[in-house]
Amino acid sequence: MLMRNVMLLLFCAISSGMAQGPPPTPSIVYAVHNADSIKDYNTNPRVVRDMVNRLVLAATGQSDVAKAWASLVSPGERVGIKICAAGGELFTTHHDIVTAIADGLVAAGHPRSSIIVWDRSLGGVKGAGYRPGVDGYQLKAITPHDGYDAKAVLSAPVIGKLVWGDFEYAGDITKEPILSDTEHTSNVSHFSKIISSEVDKVINVPVMSISETNGIAGCIYNMTIPNIDNWRRFAQGSRFGAESLAEIYSNPVIAKKVVFNLMDGLLAQYAGGPQPQPNYAIHQATLYASRDPVALDAMALKRLEEWRTRASLPKVAPQAAYIGFASQLGLGNSASDRVEVRNIGR
């Protein structure tokens, strides 16, 4: 009888383990550091190019840069590079990083003129060294109202006040709105036409920065908030708003298109972002990359929180609850024991 009971308990334990299934495969975040990549806010193009190439080779396991980018984006696919241009001259995605990515894509068979580099607005690109018409790729902002797709929509229970530039805004910037403040609201957002219909694959290149409204301005933020209208309702600090970023990212319009994430950590900003705040900046001289946006954001959040603690600043993890929620949705790994940061050296 005792042996029978022992066997029964063992069977139940095995059955329970089988029901739970195997743990998720760990995610790798690749990091490359080179102190020569940036000095006094000025980048070294040759060093930055080498760092970008090292990352894409490591992340794809390919033998050369052209094959690496070709493994991510096929020659017939339309490719976009999503930058962050909110950081002004110093904290916009560094031009040398984008140049290195574009050169790699060209080597993989993509005409430079077909590559779209974009953000909601491009206020920081001129000071950051971007040269429209000279760089060769298409540098685009999202056109107010007309730049949003009437058919690519998302809805959420949280209501937002519409402003000029939103697709459904019914007023005129030169006149009083035709609706009252109470009526001039919506629970609907529209994706930009760039992400919905102009690109097939995306290289996501956020800056390693805090977002004062959404915790961090990392991979998930960079593909969601700047790519929709009526976005202010998701930046109000509420828990629902924070979790919504993961739900927005999970939409096939975004999730099925992003194939590579490269975080610009040459300069890291641990407060005040994504707008420029040099007093809270660190010359980190490091780039990070991963196929997993959640793992990359989880790593960045941990580092940014460490710097904030040293500066006696409050934690931003509550506003970044969407990182953990994204893991629950199956978008990637956020738990520290499921994320490996692998330093690939100089």
What pLDDT is attached to residue 66?
Answer: 98
At residue 346, the pLDDT reads 63
Residue 286's pLDDT is 98
Rounded to a whole number of angstroms, the CA Rg of the chain reads 22
C-alpha count within 13 angstroms, C-beta hemisphere, residue 178: 5
Averaged pLDDT, 132-138: 94
What single DSSP character describes residue 232?
A: G
pLDDT of res. 184: 80
- Closest by CA position to 226, among listed 217, 215, 236: 217
**116-119/138-141 β-pairing:** parallel
CB 177 within 8 A of CB 171: yes
pLDDT of residue 6: 34
Average pLDDT over residues 290-313: 97
The average pLDDT across 27-35 equals 97
- Which pLDDT belongs to residue 65? 98
Nearest to 288 by CA among 279, 300, 277: 300
What is the dihedral sign for C-alpha 52, 334, 216, 299?
Answer: negative
- How confident is the model at residue 14, as a pLDDT? 35
How high is the pLDDT of residue 85?
Answer: 96
Distances (CA, A) of 113 to 53, 117, 137, 196, 342: 21, 10, 5, 20, 34
Q: Are 130 and 139 in contact (CB under 8 A)?
A: yes
Work out the pLDDT band at 171, boundaries 50, 70, 90: low
Query: Which pLDDT does position 238 carry in this prediction?
Result: 54
How confident is the model over 159-170, as pLDDT tens digits?
889 999 999 997
* Cβ atoms of residues 80 and 198 within 8 Å: yes
pLDDT value at residue 345: 73
What share of the chain has pLDDT > 90, as a percent? 78
Least confidently predicted of 2-16, 43-57, 178-192:
2-16
User: What is the maximum alpha-carbon separation in the chain?
Assistant: 87
Q: Is the pLDDT of residue 141 over 60?
A: yes
Position 157, amino acid: P
Strands 79-83 and 116-119: parallel
Q: What pLDDT shows up at residue 253?
A: 97
For residue 239, name the pLDDT band (cuts at 50, 70, 90). Answer: low
**Could you report the per-residue pLDDT of 2-19, keeping only the tens digit for each?**
334 333 333 343 333 444
DSSP for 16-35, written as a single string:
HHHHH-PPPPPEEEEEEE-G
CB 29 within 8 A of CB 343: no
Q: Residue 71 class from Cβ within 10 Å (0-12 exposed, 13-18 middle, 19+ buried)?
A: middle
Q: Do the Cβ atoms of 202 and 83 come closer than 8 Å?
A: no
CA 223, 74, 291, 224: dihedral to nearest 10 degrees? 10
pLDDT digits (tens, 9 = 90+) for 76-133: 999 999 999 999 999 999 999 999 999 999 999 999 999 999 999 998 899 999 999 8
When the pLDDT of each residue in the chain is averaged and rounded to a whole number, the result is 89
Residue 304 reports pLDDT greater than 50: yes
pLDDT of residue 200: 98
Mean pLDDT of 199-205: 98
**DSSP state, residue 143:** P
Residue 36 pLDDT greater than 60, yes or no: yes
**Could you tell me which residue, 179 or 280, shows the higher pLDDT?**
280
Residues 169-180 have a mean pLDDT of: 54
